[in-house]
Structure 1
Amino acid sequence: MSTPTNTELLNPRHISALRDLLAAYCGVYLDETRKSALEAATQRRAQALGQTPAAYVTGLGLSIDRAELQRLAELLLNHETQFFRNRPHMHALRTVVLPELHQRLPPGAPLRLWSAGCATGEEPYSLAIAALEAFGDHLDRPVEVWATDLSSTALERARTGVYKGRSLANLNSQQRARYFTARGAELVVAPRVRELVHFEQLNLLEPFPTRARGVHIIFCQNVTIYFQVQTCRLLMERFYQNMDEGGALFLGFSETLWNIFDRFRGREVAGAFIYCKASIGPVRATVPLVPKPTPALPAPRMPSPPRPPAQPAASTTPRPPRPPSISNHPTGSAIVSQGQALLDAGQADAALALFYSAPLVGAQAPQILALAARAHADRGDLDLAAAEARRALELNPLTTEAHLLIGLIHARQGRHAAAITQLERARTIDGESPVILFHLAECYRQLGRASEALRDYRTTMRKLATHPPDKLIDGVAAGWLSETCRRYVAMISGEGL
């Protein structure tokens, strides 16, 4: 079948119906920034079935065909990951959490870990390696790593245990030699690691199998950030109900449970932040670690890509949650101030390191999350950036920086009308920001709405007049912004030409 014509493309009603169907099926909520990806996947499935996209969506809504929803979801899920991706978490697991649980469990009882959303397998194999590093190749007790994912395609790759390229970047030379076999440019997971891991397809919104009961450790990272808050809340309740008393939950940095779910207790462990079911006291005796744990490598510094001249500024719920057990960390306002300065200086990696150094809790959490989203956008990870910005707005709809960032992502995608919607919301909250006004003017100009563009360019110039030309405003010099506004005012109005 030929590619659908423009008259056959999806309308907003179709997009909304698809978004809701997928969210109800697997939890993943594809916001407006993922509209193009959703349209492309829909057209691909419609072509495969010999249908127009509109007919495909209509039929899917009438039948609620779960097999077809699975095929559509397979085209939209992001499986990119790495071994030991969150090294502070892995270090805490290996040196503290595993020894503590080993001490508490009865002799011979299996220690059970769950990688929920394991993608192509790097995370569960990392968990198995961490256990071998903690207890030695001859494990002091059985260790079981249960690895689940929605995607059958990702699980097929995981079961092969063959990896290359960027996913191996965090492995040190000792880990490569002990737990893998080299095969050209690839590394193959060693049998003693493989035998600890069991892969299984699982939709996290469906009932958990009996294997989930009594699990001790759950890793669920960069999964729930793509869920809506209520979906996340329900999943956390099910994790809590199935987890063994004293168990530990490891979430990604952005996946804060602040103002979402308060039954888990936050805890700092060896510089990392995790959630625990009930209390886990200090270890009273040293558990032998054979061999000596491999020290964590310093995080590689990834060069930040060149930034456009104007990047965005970064700035329903249950009962108030219990604060995590933390100490000696910068205040939320200090993190916001320092992170903003680092982002303005183009240091996205340093800003993320700062954000990761403290738990994402308290009144400043939405703004810190929006700043982290800006850092990820600066690094080119727009899907994660948009998800983080959306979560910031779910936690606090008045987070200006999140509205601004989503607007800029829309603008980068050429969706200027959608960008204006978000930017106008940002202007409503903060009418004094010259950066918001500047980007509104840019979007209006792109849409040919000259009067609105002129209005906002001129207002931006007036607000910039109080700033020195070399002052950085969200990473952009005030003088550059002002000169750009003058140039476009002249171009649109004919003044000075």
Structure 2
Amino acid sequence: MSQGVAPSSELSSVQLTTLRDLLATYCGVYLDGSRHETLRSAVRRRATQRGMQVVVYADALTSEAERPELHVLAELLLNHETVFFRHRQHMTALGRTIIPELHRRLPPEVPIRIWSAGCATGEEAYSIAITALETLGNPPTRPLEILGSDLSATALARARAGRYRGRTLGNLSESQRRLFFRPFGSDGLEVNEHLRRWVRFEQRNLLEPFPTEFQGMQIIFCQNVTIYFQIETCRTLMQHFYEMMAEGGTLFLGFSETLWNIFNRFRWREVDGTYVYQKDRALPLPPPRCPAPLPSPSFSTRPEQVVRPNPNSTRTTNDVVAQGRGLIDAGKSEAALDVIENAPLGGPQVPQILALSAHAHANRGDLDLAAAEAHRALELDPLTTEAYLLIGLIYARQDQPAQAISHLERARYLDPNAAQISFHLAECYRHVGRIDAARREYRNTIQKLAGQPPERLIDGVAVGWLAETCQRYLTILGGRDDKKG
């Protein structure tokens, strides 16, 4: 069949589920229902490029011989967007505390080994290298090995090229730009040789066995990767990280990638205002053999502080939930994320905090991360009302009203007094022609809003506007009959 033949049919629900599970088994990323249209679009694109009908292409992917093509499809679906110093607090903790501790503890000839797992286009690996060189000196006072790995060959090619422009450079200081980069084009920067020499990149699938040379890593970054995995896949990966990490090693995860009720072998530690996971040292290490002093006092260390989730300390997390909820209602999603992401993700409030983070990310337009966080919240606690509401809203935005209604009805069951749930349900019912149900929920919304100040904000919308909108639709819908119930 010639190139450019348009696909003549669509995926069946069975084929869609088979492909979803096949991709999850291959690379870990689980495409929930809110991302099925993304999967359909990627399949249509590749089928057209290969001159195949969609259904023929999808069936072919189940063959082991088509594993390279499955990899190509996975690359289309993975998000490689990142920036330098994306998690500034983690880099601060790395430079101020984690690297200096290793430098004092390890014999002088032992390298500090750091792995950026899921490094995408390389910004994280280079940020780690910049932090290490700012801490240890340039050149460093001890051996240094930094590895970046990713599933995507395309992303790794960009990482090796080391050429960046635009938003990704926004967190770099002027001195970092001057010391570690050179101009590229009219508005870009290219990693210079002083930085490039400390970082190497490899193509790796995190679901496949790690090579023996990965054994003994002292620091692992794996951020905004496992939130797209199902819990069992995440648990398996954490076990592999634990087994290959050096005793006393440190694991940096993204904020929403809590290990609470998922994997408990790493201990939880607060460092410089952020949270990391550490592998306890089973046996005392030999005393260090006079490591060279750090070259600069710009990073000061502080005594180690170990924090474990305390089931009796719910007041602090309750305050975080209340403050985050208030900021989201006020339409201040960025401020809400600042509050939420400083909360310790341990204890029974974790699902609610994840759901609030999902809501804030959805308000910013990051629907993939929002859906992943909301689904993780429900995996940890299937009674998380905010997560059902958020997933329902995502489905509504994607013009999938049946799925939206299903999740919103679950949210209403869990919280029958929430006005915003009734309002969004009314909107979905109206769009699918369930007029009686829409009228009922518009009336319920007005009733639940009664007595609240009209200027009060709920998810950035004034109570007065919500009530007026409900009344207007009740007037518009007043003379119609609903045959669907």
Same topology, TM > 0.5: yes
C-alpha distance after superposition, 1:256-309 (max 9, x if no partner): 01111000011111111100000699x9999733245489xxxxxxxxxxxxxx
Q: Which residue of 2 aligns with 1:426?
A: 411
Q: Which residue of 1 aligns with 2:44?
A: 43
Q: Which residue of 2 aligns with 1:108?
A: 109
Please tell me the residue identity of whatever aligns with 2:469.
Answer: T
C-alpha distance after superposition, 1:9-35 (max 9, x if no partner): 222222211110100000001111112
Distance 1:226 1:426, change over 3 A: same
Q: Which residue of 2 aligns with 1:3?
A: 6
Q: How many Å separate the matches in 2 of 1:341 and 1:463?
A: 18
C-alpha distance after superposition, 1:407-435 (max 9, x if no partner): 10111111111111111111121122121
Q: Which residue of 1 aligns with 2:320?
A: 335
C-alpha distance after superposition, 1:462-489 (max 9, x if no partner): 2223434333334332222221111112
Distance 1:133 1:418, change over 3 A: same
Distance 1:64 1:19, change over 3 A: farther
Q: How many Å separate the matches in 2 of 1:211 and 1:65?
A: 29
Q: Which residue of 1 aligns with 2:180?
A: 179
Alignment of 1:213-362 (within 5 A): 213-278=215-280, 288-293=293-298, 323-324=308-309, 331-362=316-347
Please tell me the residue identity of whatever aligns with 1:124.
Answer: A
Distance 1:232 1:344, change over 3 A: same
User: What runs of 5+ residues in structure 2 fail to find an aligned partner?
Assistant: 301-306, 481-485
Please tell me whether the aligned partners of residues 236 and 261 of structure 1 are also in contact (alpha carbons under 8 angstroms).
Answer: yes
Please tell me whether the aligned partners of residues 258 and 362 of structure 1 are also in contact (alpha carbons under 8 angstroms).
Answer: yes
Distance 1:294 1:276, change over 3 A: closer
Alignment of 1:121-160 (within 5 A): 121-160=122-161
Tell me by how many angstroms 1:329 deviates: 10
Query: What secondary structure does 1:37 align onto?
Result: helix
Q: Which residue of 2 aligns with 1:81?
A: 82
Q: How many Å separate the matches in 2 of 1:492 and 1:62?
A: 53
Tell me by how many angstroms 1:48 deviates: 2.1
Match of 1:378 among 323, 340, 363: 363
Distance 1:182 1:62, change over 3 A: closer
Please tell me the residue identity of whatever aligns with 2:326.
Answer: A
Q: How many Å separate the matches in 1 of 2:457 and 2:309?
A: 35
**Identity score, percent:** 56
Q: How many Å separate the matches in 2 of 1:457 and 1:329?
A: 36
Query: What secondary structure does 1:75 align onto?
Result: helix
Distance 1:474 1:286, change over 3 A: farther
Q: Which residue of 2 aligns with 1:305?
A: none
Please tell me whether the aligned partners of residues 83 and 126 of structure 1 are also in contact (alpha carbons under 8 angstroms).
Answer: yes
Q: How many Å separate the matches in 1 of 2:410 and 2:29?
A: 25
C-alpha distance after superposition, 1:336-369 (max 9, x if no partner): 1111111112211111111122211111111111
TM-score normalised by length of structure 1 = 0.89
Please tell me the residue identity of whatever aligns with 2:435.
Answer: A
Tell me by how many angstroms 1:449 deviates: 1.8
Q: Work out whether 1:66 is the aligned partner of 2:67.
A: yes
Q: Which residue of 2 aligns with 1:193?
A: 195
Please tell me whether the aligned partners of residues 268 and 326 of structure 1 are also in contact (alpha carbons under 8 angstroms).
Answer: no
Q: How many Å separate the matches in 2 of 1:436 and 1:356?
A: 25
Distance 1:479 1:175, change over 3 A: same
Distance 1:256 1:438, change over 3 A: same
Distance 1:325 1:448, change over 3 A: closer
Q: How many Å separate the matches in 2 of 1:274 and 1:325?
A: 16
Tell me by how many angstroms 1:323 deviates: 2.7
Q: How many Å separate the matches in 2 of 1:330 and 1:354?
A: 15
Q: Which residue of 2 aligns with 1:460?
A: 445
Tell me by how many angstroms 1:193 deviates: 1.2
Please tell me the residue identity of whatever aligns with 2:31.
Answer: L
RMSD, matched Cα: 2.4
Of 241-250 and 350-359, deviating more is 350-359
Distance 1:329 1:110, change over 3 A: farther
Please tell me whether the aligned partners of residues 265 and 279 of structure 1 are also in contact (alpha carbons under 8 angstroms).
Answer: no
Match of 1:451 among 425, 432, 436: 436
Q: How many Å separate the matches in 2 of 1:139 and 1:46?
A: 50
Query: What secondary structure does 1:274 align onto?
Result: strand
Please tell me whether the aligned partners of residues 367 and 394 of structure 2 are also in contact (alpha carbons under 8 angstroms).
Answer: yes
Please tell me whether the aligned partners of residues 217 and 249 of structure 1 are also in contact (alpha carbons under 8 angstroms).
Answer: yes
Distance 1:64 1:463, change over 3 A: farther
Please tell me whether the aligned partners of residues 99 and 287 of structure 1 are also in contact (alpha carbons under 8 angstroms).
Answer: no
Please tell me whether the aligned partners of residues 267 and 325 of structure 1 are also in contact (alpha carbons under 8 angstroms).
Answer: no
Q: How many Å separate the matches in 1 of 2:114 and 2:311?
A: 25
C-alpha distance after superposition, 1:55-81 (max 9, x if no partner): 221222244732111010010111011
Query: What secondary structure does 1:187 align onto?
Result: strand
Please tell me the residue identity of whatever aligns with 1:235.
Answer: L
Of 455-464 and 388-397, deviating more is 455-464
Please tell me whether the aligned partners of residues 268 and 325 of structure 1 are also in contact (alpha carbons under 8 angstroms).
Answer: no
Tell me by how many angstroms 1:327 deviates: 13
Distance 1:141 1:329, change over 3 A: farther
Match of 1:394 among 355, 358, 379: 379
TM-score normalised by length of structure 2 = 0.91
Q: How many aligned positions are there?
A: 466
Please tell me the residue identity of whatever aligns with 1:260.
Answer: I
Distance 1:139 1:471, change over 3 A: closer
Please tell me the residue identity of whatever aligns with 1:153.
Answer: T
